[in-house]
Amino acid sequence: MINNLNKIPEHIAIIMDGNGRWAEEQGKERIFGHQNGVNAVRNAMEAAGEAGIKFLTLYAFSTENWNRPKEEIDALMGLLVKAIHAETDNLMQNNVRLQTIGNITSLPEDCQKELQTAMDITKDNTGLTVILALSYSGRWEIVNAIKMMVQNNVTVDDITENSFKNYLNTKNIPDPDMLIRTGREQRISNFLLWQIAYSELFFPDILWPDFTKQDLVDLIAQYQTRQRRFGKTGKQIY
């Protein structure tokens, strides 16, 4: 439970890393780690909803992940379809809205259909919004934004940080207050490059399948002790 009801972050983004190592540590195939990673996704969603977080963005499949063995990619896509299908009722019960960012048309058709169905069903929910980043990378998103601006004949004078934001996949979503990466690595790996300019970063020593609701609560408590200055000096801004 969150003790401090002030300073609740509005948006948490998570790089869910360590599934493969978690499985290998137990002498199992990597996909076993991804399967158990789905339970951790459920934990994160429930904890975020209960804490009153408005947006939770999960890095589920990066542009670079297409370079993994076909067998692992197929298994991950299959897992995604199965998990979304199985969880839609749960999303409705918890007032969760599902959205995606990334190059969704590059996903297998059954995956696109399952995502679209779940997004349509949950679109009017008003609690937590869960955003799945799929076939996503920050550089892809920025290049894509520039292409759209050129196609729309946007003039140099019309380009500002605010107008640029409207061409990103995250145009209606506030920037993350917290970026969490599990898996014992401390890097960004091409995730939300534009949006994390002022995010607070957290690298808990946890492999993703072990991530619990309490872990998210503890990380939020850590966030509440940080001073955010957004480049300014002086007093804490809240």
**Residues belonging to the active site:** 17, 65
Residues 6+ apart with CB under 8 A from 22: 33, 36, 37, 207, 208, 209, 210
Nearer to ligand FPP by Cβ, of 66 and 198: the residue is: 66
Q: How far is the CB of 93 from ligand FPP (least distance, A)?
A: 17
Among 133, 180, 183, 219, binds ligand FPP (CB under 6 A): 183
User: How many residues comprise the chain?
Assistant: 238
Q: How far is the CB of 148 from ligand FPP (least distance, A)?
A: 26
Coil, strand or helix at 194: coil
Among 9, 11, 14, 17, binds ligand FPP (CB under 6 A): 17
Among 9, 20, 49, 138, binds ligand FPP (CB under 6 A): 20
Among 48, 58, 81, 168, binds ligand FPP (CB under 6 A): 58
Strand 55-62 and strand 129-136: the pairing is parallel
- Asked if 190 is part of the footprint of ligand FPP (rule: CB under 6 A), the reply reads no
- Asked if 83 is part of the footprint of ligand FPP (rule: CB under 6 A), the reply reads yes
How far, rounded to the nearest angstrom, does the alpha carbon of residue 36 sit from its chain's CA centroid?
17
Cross-sheet strand order for the sheet of 55-62? 97-101, 129-136, 55-62, 11-15, 178-181, 200-202
Residues 6+ apart with CB under 8 A from 59: 13, 14, 15, 16, 133, 136, 189, 191
| Contact flags string 199-218 toward ligand FPP, x per CB under 6 A | ---------x----------
Q: How many residues make contact with ligand FPP (CB under 6 A)? A: 20
Question: What are the angstrom distances between the C-alpha of 159 and each of 154, 155, 162, 174?
Answer: 7, 7, 8, 19
Footprint on this chain of ligand FPP (rule: CB under 6 A)? 16-21, 30, 34, 37-38, 41, 58, 60, 65, 79-80, 83, 132, 183, 208
